[in-house]
Structures are given as structure tokens and as C-alpha cells.
Amino acid sequence: MATRKPKTPVTAGYRTMIVKLFAKTVADQARYGNWRYVAVRPQQIVATYLPAGRTVVEADCSDGGRIICRLAGLPDDPAGNSYADYGNSSSIWAHLTHIPWGEAQPGDPVTFGKWTGEDHVTWLWAKHGPGLLDWDVWNHGEQGQPVRGTLAGEVAGHPGTVATLCQLNVPPAPPPTAADLLRAETGFYAWTAWRISEGPWRGYPLADKAVRPAVPRVISAAWWVRYGKFLAARKKPNS
């Protein structure tokens, strides 16, 4: 196992998009047959993917996953080659940090090989059970794929090899903006302050939709009654 590096903070957006592309490409292959298993180099890592099977993809297990990552907008090529037309499962094994199974997340690749992950790579899709290895995977290892398989099936299909879990280099999420924080506020006070442009909402237009707090779309009658009482009370002197 490679030397541990500091864990990369995870941006959910990239992994969510990768999983969506797993589902889309498997469905497209089943319907249109637009994916072809071709184990050659150089091999284009396409940057666009047209609907209705109009993009024909020629790739193997490693480049298929690299294509998914590129389509998802992941800045770092899992093979460390800036999405150039070379690289393989050993490149992925060398470039990415090796992590324990308890840290697995959707999108992470699993390489197989006796030495350097040289035989195969599959890509974690979704966990389906309580065990550390209970994962479905996106796999493009032969004609008729990609398909949704299981990690257990891939392990059984590659006897005598070591399965190495690698962590995608996902950039950290950007810090929330002031507007993000306002949109995350909840409760009656946040809704009232937003409506009258007071408190944290001071300086914004009244009831600015761009910074509406996280309150129900339809406000309850109880809140409206309370709001009316507030408007009336704020103009009265204190006893």
C-alpha cells in the first residue's frame, strides 16, 4: 500500500455527477450499444457526450472510467495524465492515494493486479450492504459493457490479484458565500428578517428571492398571524 497522504476534502458534486453518468452510460449501452470495448493506446478520452447514443465511445476498463471522470468535470485525471490519450490501471494505481475500505466513496476506482494494479480497474457505484466490500460497481471490462456489477463479482473474477482501493483527487468545496449562509437559515425569525430586510438581510431588497431562507414555500397561517402581530407590535411603545 502506498504511503498515506493527507485526505483530500470531498466535493459531493463531482461524485454525484459521476454516479449519474454511471447510470446514463449503462442505460445507453443497453439501448444503443454505443460503447465498444477496445484495449489499445493511444485512446481518446472524450470530453463531450451526446444524447441518444450519438457519441460512440471506444475504451477499456481504465479509460472508460477516466472518460466518466472527465465528463463529470473532475479536474484531476485519475491516471495523472491530464486526460491525455495514454494511461491505464497501473497509472491510476500510482497516481491516486491508496485508502482503507472504510473510506470508500462512490466514484473511487479499485485496481486489480499482482504488482501495480496492472490487470483491471473497476469503479465504485453504490453501497448495497453493511459489509466494507458490499458495493455495486461500474465496469467496462469486455464487449457489451459498461454494466452495473458487484465488487464481489470483480474480486471473484480476478483470482490471485490484489484489489487496491484508490481515492479520487476531488478538490475541496468552495467556502460558502454570505448569500449561501443566508439561504441556509431557517425558522420564523429568518423568514421575518428576510421579509423586512433586517438583521443579516439588512442591505438586501425586501424579500429578495436570491437570499430566501430555507423555510417552507407555503408559509403556515400561524406564521402569518405571528408576523401580523409583530408588524403591529413594533410600532407601539414599551410598557
Pairing outcome for strands 35-37 and 57-59:
parallel
156 and 85 housed in the same domain: yes
Residue 4: inside a domain: no
139 and 225 housed in the same domain: no
Residue 218: inside a domain: yes
Return the residue matching grid coordinates 475504451.
59
pLDDT digits (tens, 9 = 90+) for 127-167: 999 999 999 999 999 999 999 999 999 999 999 999 999 99
Q: Which domain holds residue 37?
A: 12-167
pLDDT value of residue 149:
98
3-state secondary structure of 78: coil
Contacts 24+ apart (CB under 8 A), 214-223: 214/183, 214/184, 214/185, 214/186, 214/190, 215/186, 215/187, 215/190, 215/191, 219/191, 223/188, 223/191
Work out how many domains the chain is built from and give that number: 2
pLDDT value of residue 24:
97
Residue 16: inside a domain: yes
Q: What is the mean pLDDT of the chain?
A: 93
Q: Is pLDDT above 70 for 11?
A: no
151 and 194 housed in the same domain: no
Question: 164 Cβ partners below 8 Å, 6+ apart?
Answer: 1, 93, 98, 110, 111, 112, 113, 117
Task: For the chain, give the number of residues.
Answer: 239
Look at residues 109, 135, 167 and tell me which one is the last residue of a structural domain. 167
Q: What is the pTM of this model?
A: 0.74
